[in-house]
Amino acid sequence: MAIYNGRLPQIDIAEATRYAGLRQATDFPKQLVADACLEVQLVAAPKGVYEVYEYEAETGLIKSNPPLQLEGTSIRQHLAKATKVYVLAVTIGEGVELRSAELFKEGNYTLGLLVDAAATTAVEQVADQVNEIIKKEAAKVGYTTTWRFSPGYGNWALEVQKDLAAITGTDSIDLAVTDTFLLFPRKSVTAIIGCMPNGETMTTKRGCTSCTQVNCASRKL
């Protein structure tokens, strides 16, 4: 298990604008989104953890202790060519949620809403950083890597969260899973990255194009 907490020297304002559902609202004051990103930088406490395991694609078995059997065609297909998997988890802590709720209470609804979007951007950025470390670590021995796949993508059920968190060691970054399989703090991500031999590459792309929610306000055009 390795800890990499990630840094947030800036939060991507364009991404936060997209997560806020404002991609078409060209006249919306940019400063407000920038203010929300700043609020998140002030209260976010980024943390990340990852671990690597052997993987058997034919059976969908992660050889962790205890082993984890992956269910669902989406994740199995995603890892079809993988022989190893990295499991990772990141969080930016509960502070951002509390700040958003506080802003709503103060009547700063818009900023409260935008803080939530900026926090989503921030947690993705931290996940990107851990993803990058994993990608480079895997590349050192010649693996190519899949993009990161999270519970809830495709038909990979959220019910896997508890087992996934356990083999990732999320307790070391104070990330818990509720009995209803939600991550707490809420602004957190768990995911799997597959390591593929023989220079294999992915044909699918991470992000909106592979998501079924075609009417999502944050969908990239």
Partner 1 sequence: MYIFDGAMGTMLQQSGLVEGECPELFNVDHPEIVTGIHAAYLKNGSDIVTTNTFGACGLKLADYGLEHRVKEINTAAVRAAKAAIEAVKPEAKVAGSMGPTGQFIEPLGQISFDEVYATYYEQALALIEAGVDFIIIETIIDVQEMRAALLAARDARETLHKSKAEVTIICQFSFSEDGRTITGTPPEAAAIMVEATGADVVGINCSLGPEQLIPLVGRLASVTNLPISAQPNAGMPMLVGKETVFPLSPAEMGAYVPDLLDAGATFVGACCGSTPAHIAEIAKAAHNHSPKERTEVVPFTAFTSRTSFVKVGHTEKPIIIGERINPTGRKVLAKEIKEGSFAMVKRDALAQVAAGADVLDVNMGVPDVDVVATMKRAIMELTMLVDVPLSIDTLDPDAMEAGLKAYPGRPLINSVNAEPEQLERVLPLAKRYGAAVLCLPLGKGDLPATAEERVALAKEIVLAAYAVGLRSEDLLLDPLVLTLASGQDSAVQTLRTLAMYKETFGFPTVMGLSNVSFGLPQRPYLNSQFLTMALSHGLTAPILNPLNGTVKKAFIAGRTLLGFDPAAAEFIADYGHDEEVVPTGAVTAKQTEAVSFTSKDPLENIQHAVEQGEKELVIELVEKALAAGIDPLKITKQALSEAMNVVGDKFGSGKVFLPQVMLAAEAMQGAFQTIKRVLPESDGITRDTVIVATVKGDIHDLGKNIVAALLENNGYRVVDLGKDVDPAEIVAAVKREKATVVGICSLMTTTMPMIDVTIQAIRDAGLPSKVIVGGAVLTQEYADKAGADSYAKDGISAVNIVKRLLGDD
Closest CA to 5 of 51, 49, 47: 47
**186: contact with partner 1 by CB under 8 A:** yes
> What's phi and psi for 184, nearest 5 deg?
-135, 125
Identified binder of partner 1 from the candidate list 65, 179, 205, 214, rule CB under 8 A: 179
**214: contact with partner 1 by CB under 8 A:** no
Residue number with CB closer to partner 1 (43 or 90): 43
**14: contact with partner 1 by CB under 8 A:** no
**178: contact with partner 1 by CB under 8 A:** yes
**210: contact with partner 1 by CB under 8 A:** no
The 123-162 site mask, x for binding partner 1 (CB under 8 A), equals ---------xx--x--xxxxx--------------xx---
* CB 191, CB 127: distance < 8 Å: yes
**24: contact with partner 1 by CB under 8 A:** yes
Tokens of 179: 């009995």
**42: contact with partner 1 by CB under 8 A:** yes
Residue number with CB closer to partner 1 (59 or 139): 139
Binding residues vs partner 1 (CB under 8 A)? 2-5, 7-9, 20-22, 24-25, 27-28, 31-32, 38, 41-43, 46, 97, 100-101, 104, 107-110, 112-114, 116, 132-133, 136, 139-143, 158-159, 172, 178-182, 184, 186, 197-199, 217
